[in-house]
Structure 1
Amino acid sequence: MRFIHTADWHLGKLFGQRHMTEDQAYVLEELLALCADLRPDALVIAGDVYDRAIPPPEAVELFNTILTKLSERGISVLFIAGNHDSAVRLDFGAQLLRSSGIYLAGVVRAAEPPVILSDEFGDVYFSLLPYGDPPHVREAFTLDEPPSFDGALAVQIAAAREQIPSSARSVAVAHAFVIGGQSSESENALSVGGSDQVHAENFAAYNYTALGHLHAPQRAGADHIRYSGSLLKYSFDEAHQKKGIELIELDAVGHASHTFYPLAPRHDVRIVKGTIAEIMSDGFDPLAHDDYICVELLDTDAVLAAHEKLRKIYPNLFTITRPNINVNRLSSTERTYERGKSDLHLFSDFFTEVTASEMTEAERGELIRVIDLMEQEVRAE
């Protein structure tokens, strides 16, 4: 069995006030070309198909186009809802799509049947485990108490394993934050305060686990439990990452091998470091100047009209950071927030600045509760 593992497409993404749909369409054409070369039996998308619960029309149209082309080529497509997706909206047409070889799981259900695909060695059972926060898992499984994130995942997996013969080859498709994973700025926290993390041991019974949520390609506790990473770089702390897909091959006994295939974007995401004089000198940067750029300006003094000067060199300049200068010496137009801070940290900093005191544990707990409720409301839209 040969299948492609991908995740976190985030169709409709807005990055630096720029809609990424054209960039996503460009790289998805590369993915289709890879499918023609690699001839997989299936393509698996481990959640976050869209970037928000109500995606823009052009994002929906792009996904429809890709699904249609994959189906026409006889490639089965399996995908689940991630924390950015609207589970109910993504679930639309699930039964009808199965006849075209497209299998999806948006809403958490207590008895979600596995998808069974076959090769020359027999059947392979795919457990589609859509993102389910504790309240939704509690409701779906009629639990007395809300579980932890780890407990919620364990409940989903236990129900899924009951429908798989013990000797069968099996694959899990899930959207979760496995303990020890490398996170990125562009990922929305599943919860506040670290309670969203789950144990890799939950997936021990599967021959391979295709994960989504973390944007860096990486193993998650074992070589057969992996994140494919996101389709594109969606923040500047991902500039060093290689984006692509994993080709997974399951042999007759269920051993999973993986091969990473990179995808080349239309515009790379890069950080350029130097003083204003260095950056403006001839031959300083040999790479494409129309990439999406963050300039880390190393001057210790204020630079007059820095944005205007740098935009002449980099037309897709997104932001400028100033690590070597005191923020009080900068004009308001030059100041930038520290990248990568969560809503909790940003509000805590604001609270301290306004009140000249740290938040109490009770205040922090109440803030965590409110942020979690807001995230749940967004996902329920």
Structure 2
Amino acid sequence: MSPTVSFAPNAPGYDVDPYPVLEALRTQAPVSYWTEGRGWLVTRYEESVAVLRDAKRFSPNRAEWEFAHQLGTAATIPELAELNRAGLFALSGADHARVRKLVSPALTPRAIERLRPEVLAIVDEILDEAASRGTINVISDIADRIPPRVIGSMLKIPKGREALFTRFTEASVKSFLPGLVRPEDVPAMRVDVQEGIALVRETIEDRRHHPLPDDILTTLIQTEEQGDRLSTPELLSLVSALIVGGFETTIHLIGFALYNLLKRPALLAQVQAEPELIKGTIEEVLRHDNFGKVGIARYALEDVELGGAHIKKGQMLLLMLNSALRDEAAFPQADVFDVRRNTNASIAFGHGLHFCLGANLARMELQLVVGRILERFPTLQLVREPSFGPHPVIRKMESLEVKLNAH
């Protein structure tokens, strides 16, 4: 019987440096039951990859969880619960493969590369505003503002409706993470969700009648596989998934990437001299200082033996990617931050069937933001160590104060 462990992701100091706790789990109790979280913590690379690869026995669909009936928050916004039912995370087997096949052409590296000029224009506009202030909080002044603008631009949300789209984005992200929602906020969130869905539905209908060249939404609408197309509920659900997946990830990556460079002045100078190292820096930040607090969830579809533990059907596994990515068995000298490391084995964006469809977009966005900041503000400096705020599943960097010192 695998041990039951005491694990306290909300304990003081965990957000700043979770790695001693994770190393202890990985070496002493690699698959262990966490009573408060009502799930198994999987902390080694080998078992994490095994679960991610095994779509027959493990599902990302929360409806499979033994405690699913106790999840109330999504149900308080029925429109979002409806969206999630048609979502990639909820689909299994053949349905998942079908939707993924239809979606993939819209998110290939080449399709994403076409967005570079418009993403760069958004980044420059936001950096122009930041430049006038001298000292900024990277999170609220830059990171929070870029992802909703990029997703809105990708979908060509009509001019003048961007603020509504941003509110819809924020409501979608919050409701996906029930721990962020206070009951008194639900009515206003529901209005934002209803208006946002109506806006996206309107945008989809407009694009059906007026397709645009080199446009992601047009590609999603027009892609056909043996006469099969995506339905409107599937398209709406995909937009919602793009929002949830592309929003939090990118915000936190911007903060963590800049912090990891600023606290290593010699590396910062090296990356400024060789901008091609930015790509490796981002991959290494994802691996070495992953912003996850607890793992990504999978639910057992049958009784399974894993790493010496007996997992019962319906139980939740939390794949602690922040621990697996520091596992010496997969990454020699795992605790060393090395921007030239081969990170091909990284599972930061998942693995297998559910590998993150938005990974190309996140990487491109990150490379542009970090590259542009270093180029425009070559003498930027860290003012103080970052502060972290409460969040159920992410080490939420709330403030990263930086002096821009632009030349």
- How does the TM-score come out when normalised to structure 2? 0.24
Higher CA-based Rg: 1
The structure in which a higher percent of residues are strand is 1
TM-score, structure 1 as length reference: 0.25
